Structure 1
Amino acid sequence: MTSSTEARPRAGPGWLRPVVAVVGLLYLALGVAGFLTPETASVGHRPENTVWLFSVTTVLTMVHTLVGVLGLLAATKRTGSVIYCWVLFLGFAGMTAYGVFAAAFAAPEDPINVNWADNWLHGLTAVAGLVFGIAGARAATRRAQEVPTHRDLPPKGGTA
C-alpha cells in the first residue's frame, strides 16, 4: 500500500507532450487538407494531386489524419507520448521504405501514390520519433530511479 504523499514515477520528459501535440496537429492539418482536395479519390502517380508538396490519395490522407488524431490523444499523457513516438518511428520507417521503392519504380496502380516529398516527410518523422522515443524512455528511467518507494521511507511514528 502506498501513501498519498508518495510520488509515482511518470514516463517521459515534460516537454514531450507539447511536441507530440504539435506533430499530431501538423499531420491532422495535412490530412484534413488532403480531404478538402477534389482529387483525393484518384489513384496513380499524378504530380497534380498534391497538397503543398505532398501527394494526395484517399489512403495517404486517412493515414495522415489517423496519425494526427492519435498524436493529439497521445499528448494527453506522458506514457502515451512515449509510446506514440515509438509507433511513429516504426510506422514511418516502414512507410519510408515503401515510399522509396514506390517512387523509384512508379507503378501507375499504386494506391498510396507517395512522392519524394512524402518520403522526406515520413523519413524525418521516423527519425524524430526515434529521437523523442529514446529521450522519453531515458527520462522515464531516470525518474523511476529517483523516486523513493514505500520501502525506502522511514516508518510512520518511529525511526528506522
Structure 2
Amino acid sequence: MTSAETRRRSAPAWLRPAVAVLGLLYLALGIAGFLTPETAAVGHETSRAVWIFSTTPLLNIVHVAVGVLGLLAATRRTGSILYCWVLFVGFAGMTSYGILATAFGNPEDPVNLNWADNWLHGLTAVAGLVLGVVAARAAARAAAR
C-alpha cells in the first residue's frame, strides 16, 4: 500500500461529515444567540435564552468559533481528528467550569452557563472523545496494513 492510500484511509469516511454536523450545530447555536433581541441590544450583564441554552456574547463567540473551526476541520481528515481531540479537551474543561459555576451561582459570571449548557458541553466532550478514539484506531489499523 502506498503512502497516498494510507493517508486516504487514515480516518473513517463518516468522520468528516460528523465533524461538519457538530460545526453546523455550534455555528447555528452561536448565531441564534447573537440574533436574540435581548442579547443584541444588551451587553453581557444578563443571560438570555435560546431554546433552553443560556446566551451571553462571550458564550456566543465561543460557539461561533467552535462552529467555524468545525467546518474548516471537516475539509481534511487530519483536521477532523485534531478537532475531535480539541473538542474533548475544551468542552471537558467547559463542562467542569459550568458545573462549578452553576452550583455556586455567581451573578457576575461573564459566561453564565446553565444546566442545559453543561449537558450540551458534556455530551460534546464525550462525542469528541468517541470520535477521536475511533478515528485514531482506524488510522492505526490503516498504518499497520
TM-score by length of 2: 0.92
Q: SS state of the match for residue 68, structure 2? A: helix
In the alignment, the residues of structure 2 paired with residue 7 and residue 88 of structure 1 have an alpha-carbon distance, to the nearest angstrom, of 28
Whose radius of gyration is greater, 1 or 2?
1
Aligned position for 1:118? 117
In the alignment, structure 2 segments of 5+ residues that lack a partner are none
Contact between 1:102 and 1:114, CA under 8 Å: does it hold in 2? yes
| Structure 1 counterpart of 2:2 | 6
Q: Report the counterpart of residue 20 of structure 1 in structure 2.
A: 19
The correspondence of residues 50-65 of structure 1 with structure 2, limited to 5 A, is 50-65=49-64
Residue 70 of structure 2 is matched in structure 1 by 71
Segments of structure 1 that go 5 or more residues without pairing to the other structure are 147-160
CA–CA distance in 2 between the matches of 1:105 and 1:39?
25
**CA RMSD between the two structures:** 1.3
Deviation at 1:7, TM superposition (A): 4.2
* Aligned residue type for 2:2: E
- In structure 1, C-alpha distance between the alignment counterparts of 2:92 and 2:11, rounded to whole Å: 22
Structure whose residues are more often helix by fraction: 2
1:39: Cα distance to partner? 2.5
Whether the aligned pair in 2 keeps the contact of 1:43 and 1:113 (CA below 8 Å) is no
Instruction: Find the counterpart in structure 2 of residue 149 from structure 1.
Output: none
Deviations 1:35-67, CA, capped at 9 Å, x for gaps: 1012223324x5xx1001100101100000000
Q: Give the deviation of 1:145 after TM superposition.
A: 1.2
Name the SS for the 2:22 alignment partner: helix
Q: Residues 39 and 56 of structure 1 are in contact (CA less than 8 Å); yes or no, is this contact kept in structure 2? A: no
Distance 1:108 1:114 in 2: 11
Alignment match, 2:33: 34
Deviation string 1:23-44 (CA, Å, 9 cap, x unpaired) is 0000000000011012223324
What SS is found at the alignment partner of 2:127? helix
TM-score (norm 1): 0.83
Q: Deviations over 1:91-125 (max 9, x none)?
A: 00000000001111110100001000000000000
Give the corresponding residue for 1:109: 108
Query: What amino acid does structure 2 have at the position aligned with 1:58?
Result: P
Moved over 6 A (4+): none
2:142 maps to amino acid: R
